[in-house]
Amino acid sequence: MSGAASTGNATVTPKHVFGLKADVTDNVAYLDEQTSIFPAGHNLVIHNTEQRSQKFVPGTDGSLGIIAMAVSNNRKFVAIAERPERPTDKPFVTVYDLHTLRKRRTLPAPPPEVESRDLVGLAFSPDSKTLLTMGGAPDWTLCVWAWEKAKPPLAHLRVSNPQHAEIRQVSFSPYDNTAICVTGNGICKFCRVQDASLKPIPAAMGRREPQVYTAHAWLADDRVLVGTEAGNLLVVDSGEFKLELQHSPADGNAIEAIAAYSKGFLCASDGGVVHAYERTEERELFKRAKSFSLEGLHTSVCTLAVSPLEEQMLCSLASAQLFTLQLSNMDILKPDDMNFEPLSQVFHTGPATGLDTCVRKPLIATCGRDHTVRVWNYLERTMELSKTFTEEAHSLAFHPSGLSVLVGFADKLRLLNLLIDDIRPFKELAIRACKECRFSHGGQYFAAVNGNTIQIYATYTCDNIGNLRGHNQKVRSVVWTPDDTKLISCGQDGAVYEWSLRDFKRVGENVLKSCQYTSCACTADARAIFAVGSDKKLREIVGDTAKEHDLGATALQVVLSHSGRMLFAGMDTGQVRSFKFPLNGEWTDASVHGAPGPGAVQKMRISYDDSFLFTVGDDGCVYVCEIKDRDGRIGGTKRDKEGLGWAEEVLVTKTDLEEKTQQMLELRAKVEDLQSQNDYQLRIKELNHAEKLKEVSDRFTHEVEAARRNYELLLQNKNDSELEFEEKLRQLEARHEQTLQGTESTYQQKIMAEVERYQSLQSEKDMLAERWEEQHALLQEGHERALQELTDEYDTKLQEDALVLENVRKEKAALEATFEETRTQIEEDVDREVHELRTNYEARLAHEKNEALRLKGENGIMNKKFVSLQKEIDEQKEEISALFNNKKELYGQIQSLEKDIVGLKREIKERDETISDKEKRIYDLKKKNQELEKFKFVLDYKIKELKKQIEPREVDIMDMREQIRKMDEELERYHFQNQELDLRIHEQKLRLDGMQREIKTQRTKLSDAAADVHAFKSGLHDTIQHIQDPRRLKEKVKELYQRHATDHTPTARIEQDLHAEYARQREYLEKSVESLKRKLNKNMELHRQDNARMMQENVALIKEVNELRRDLRSVAQAGRQVYGGLNAGAAGTGAAGQRADPGGGGDKQHAMLGELRNQVLSLQDKLAAAHAEIQRLRMEAAGGPQPRAASRPGSEAALHRPVSREQLPTMEGFEAQAAAMGAAMRVSASGGAAPGPLGEVPAPRAHAQGGGEGEGEERGGEAVHVAADSEAAEGGALQMDAPPEPDDLAGVAPGQGDSGEGDGAAYRRHVARLAARWHRATRISSA
């Protein structure tokens, strides 16, 4: 049972819901001006705005929730697509009658060639006889159904492209039962239903560049309006692209939904903006009239719906909200205002985490992950209060008086007072992330869970009067007994404890470590405890014994009625399970919330009088279910017997009351002033109206006299005209009489001619009849002869067939005997079944007749009420229309008068300002004139005196000008120096900022690592607690592995003192963020340019290095030749040659090789210093000891390297190469023999083009073989070859003779140039 669940004779029926299922396609529609339909949880809700009433269309049992819906054009039927329970099954579609709320048809399964396991859209045809279903991935198949017949689809077609792009929307044309439009990612197709098949219509959209078409709507004249992801609106006419609207939003926000109506259309773009367009006679067809935004709701719009009379628009949001916009008042709406109003209330966005109800008021309180606390009135079906907090709320408890709530936030537990229009904190308790809290039944105490401890507080003093310790893990549920002397708790450690609040000690327990309990309940005397947990069982604990009931699914909540006769459980599948009490293993499910996971029931409560059941779930819906027996005598009986009414008092602070009183006095004074002004204006208007009335009366009297004279003239003209027309009528009658006589004589002659023609035809007919009789006699004789022949022939055949028939009769007799026996047995069985069926159906028929008679009576009463209400509605509509017209006229008059007043005030103000400015100007000029007269006299005297002194001072002026020129030059020099110093300071600051960021990154990593170690230790400690339980130990080890060894890392708990540090640094960071944003854009552009430049230089330098390697090999070969020539010269000349040339080529060659050795050694030292500086920066970033780099040469150059550890290149390869080159040069300089090949030399890892962080890490153990020739040593465009091979230099040794001097000098210069280039290339590639 999905709509209601029975407990014995009691039923649970959804009465009202606060929420919306936002992930349903086309999830809102209008049935009439006051009624709308939308999905919530596992039901469709029919909501009446005026009466605030709701009806429910239940979903199918066993489904995982509604995924799409569609309402027919005649608003009589609704189609629902639901996801099956098994992933391998295909979704099913059910059609309901909106008048009877009964199921009309369930569509059969689609044919096997349809592979879709999902439905993305439904649509009815204009005549509501055909239904369209759009399948999902992978084949995106479109099916057309004649849904009134239980037959396979009429036609189906795959409408996606070869890439299987996503389909967003599908619809029928509202003017053609055969035209279909489909839009999606790069897809805009049109189809037509013809001859039981779907035929694509060729469209010109394919010639456009593919776009993501997000929504569409049909306009008049077979036109379709298509919205794109870029915010463009395209008009398609008969499948051909016509134009793009010039006034499209085109702001980069996707068009989420489009709804057309008679005056134009509405479209919603991402970000919560709705644009209204109106029709025009121009080429553009439409122009944008206004745009309205949903203030404070930065979310996307899912669906737009326009009411049948186009008075208002309803939109659903992705945040599970419903808002309306009045289209009839669009002309007077201001785009800057919040013109949207909630359909009923503002719902929770996201899962609801807390729920509770009070005793003295018909209120329930909820909280959720959207940081809000809301108070609902379940009788009036309204939201009383709502407030948004900065922290997420985890739990909630409602005081029995209905004046306070206790909410567990992420940082603290807060006691809040419910004022008349606000929710204000009263007390904060240092309990972080409290997952469960409950007030006692009397309200004097409350219990709050702090980890595995239950803390008991006094409500009015907020003093901690006791702590209940005993659970090993988190406590999930606490329940007070009715007398508030005991407390029942259960937790994840599998323990259910009973506590005495007299001495705060445990008086009862039941422990089952294999189960993690989530909720518990107890009877009034606490003898029986009911608990549910992770093992999918309901346990009834009485004393030390526990009776288990297998539920088949996980129950998250369990509640027991105050009368102790009803037990309910909330399942993780979203169902409310109602148990037959006392428990006997029987129950009934009611599907309330959505599918498992997002629709699990998180909290459940029962009202004090056991008349309502409240539930909240992960889908954010708040359900109010009514509990009653078959005769409606359970719900509310307790309150009725006690005569307990609802409390009406509210809380208000003294300050607010004084402010309201002051405002009331001020407003009363204003009202009195306005009343006196209105009386005065009224008297003036009465006088004016009396004067106007007199003028109108005089004018009317004159007009009446003139009309009377005009009437007499017209009456005389009328009499003259009557005489004239009577004479004309007599003449026409005489002329008509003559014409009639002539016509009668003419037709008389024609009739005589026709009679003669008829007599001739009759005689001809008699002759033909005689001739036909003769032929008939001849044919009859021939027929008799042929008949006799056939009779003889068939008599012979008949005798033969008689023999065959005799044999067949014998066989028939045998078969008839067998058949009679079989028939007798079947008839007996059928009679017995018919009798049973007749008995059953007669009983049902009698019941249905009684029910029909009762319904007919109710229907007659309702029809009378409907007729009377319809008359009242029509009268009210007429009155509203008249008032609205008067309102529009008054608004027009007010606007015109306001414009006149504003213009006159502006003109007066401008003229006053002009007059004041001119008067001030005149006064200032007069005053200045007097002062100038005085100055004129004084200046005349001074001029005379200065003329006497001017000549000697001209010389001084020339000298001073020369001094000023020199000082200006010196000042410019100082400015230039200051600019250079500023640049240096800026560079130093940038380096310092880089170091500080690196240090901060390392510190953050260290703190994260410490937090991970602390969390791992805590988890390990919890795991050790289960060392005696292998299965539990295995689960804890697996949980520890999933928490610390997978990608998902739980967020470390923020320590208490970090909040203070955060508060201190926040102000500084807010000031810095603006300047950093400005610098960031500039630095990103510079960084991009530098990267491109460095990449180009890197490519060029790597190519140059490869060329230098080849040159180095050629130089090494030349060196070997020089060395061979020197050895040959030494052998030929001997000692005489040495004496003849003591300062010759040998000394020069030794000097040349020594210089080369020094250069290579210096290069090696620089590389070693750079490597040491890199190691120092790494150790400094890691927090270890810092080597002193000041004593190393080249450390200043190393400071310019990147600070980040991820950006530092490896230097091991460079170190090995430099060492090998230095050793080779030392051997060459000392004259020793050249060493053999080096074999494998470690090489630095090359950076690939566009590589990431990992490409700069060290690659230990790799070796690059020295290439035998230059062609084999070359890599790709960005592959860095190895440095010059030391064995190429090792073969060159100092020689003797003059012939080696020139070659040795060239060799020295070439090697020095190669070393410098290699050093530069390695430095740039490292950077």
State both tokens at 40. Answer: 């919530």
| pLDDT at residue 1233 in the model | 39
Q: Could you give the CA distance from residue 238 to residue 261 in angstroms, rounded to a whole number?
A: 19
Q: With the C-alpha atoms ordered 857, 859, 864, 865, is the resulting torsion angle positive or negative?
A: positive
State both tokens at 1321. Answer: 């290339």
What is the chain's percent helix, strand, coil content, to nearest 5? 45, 25, 30
- Does the reported pTM lie above 0.85? no
Name the residue type at position 59.
Answer: G
Angle between helix axes 654-1024 and 1030-1044 (nearest 10 degrees) is 120
The backbone torsions φ and ψ at residue 570, rounded to the nearest 5 degrees and listed phi first, read -100, 125
Sheet containing 363-368: order of strands: 352-357, 363-368, 372-377, 382-388
Beta bridge partners of 172: 180
The backbone torsions φ and ψ at residue 541, rounded to the nearest 5 degrees and listed phi first, read -100, 120
Cis peptide before 84 (omega within 30 of 0): no
Name the residue type at position 1202.
Answer: P
The backbone torsions φ and ψ at residue 471, rounded to the nearest 5 degrees and listed phi first, read -75, 145
Q: Tell me if 1278 sits within 8 A of 1096, measured CB to CB.
A: no
State both tokens at 497. Answer: 């404890």
| pLDDT at residue 1294 in the model | 40
Find the largest Cα–Cα distance for the chain: 175
| pLDDT at residue 294 in the model | 82
Q: E strand or H helix at 395, and its extent?
A: strand 393-398
Q: What's the average pLDDT block by block, 10 residues per block, for the chain (1327 residues)?
A: 51 90 92 93 92 90 88 92 84 91 88 83 92 88 88 86 86 90 89 86 70 89 88 86 84 88 90 88 84 79 92 91 88 80 89 93 94 94 92 94 94 93 92 93 94 93 92 93 92 92 90 92 89 91 87 90 87 87 81 77 91 92 85 58 76 87 91 89 89 90 89 88 86 84 80 82 82 81 81 81 83 83 81 82 84 83 84 86 85 86 87 87 86 82 78 77 85 85 87 87 88 85 84 84 65 56 75 80 81 78 77 71 54 42 51 65 67 65 46 39 40 49 50 39 37 38 35 37 42 40 56 63 55
State both tokens at 667. Answer: 């407003």
Q: Tell me if 490 sits within 8 A of 517, measured CB to CB.
A: yes
Q: Could you give the CA distance from residue 1207 to residue 1199 in angstroms, rounded to a whole number?
A: 14
CA dihedral 721, 723, 727, 732 (to 10 degrees): 50
Name the residue type at position 458.
Answer: A
How deeply is 1037 buried, as exposed, middle or buried, from its count of CB atoms within 10 A (0-12, 13-18, 19+)? middle
Contacts of 13 (CB under 8 A, 6+ apart): 3, 4, 625, 626, 628
| pLDDT at residue 1174 in the model | 65
Q: Could you give the CA distance from residue 179 to residue 159 in angstroms, rounded to a whole number?
A: 14
425: closest CA among 444, 407, 442?
407
Radius of gyration over every alpha carbon of the chain, rounded to an integer in angstroms: 50
468: closest CA among 501, 439, 446, 494?
501
Q: How many CA atoms within 13 Å lie on the side-chain side of 218?
A: 22
114: closest CA among 139, 92, 134, 96?
139
169: Cα separation from own chain's centroid: 17
| pLDDT at residue 1159 in the model | 66
pLDDT digits 0-9 by tens, 970-1001: 888 888 888 888 888 888 888 888 888 889 88
Q: Could you give the CA distance from residue 110 to residue 726 in angstroms, rounded to a whole number?
A: 81
| pLDDT at residue 414 in the model | 94
Beta bridge partners of 199: 192
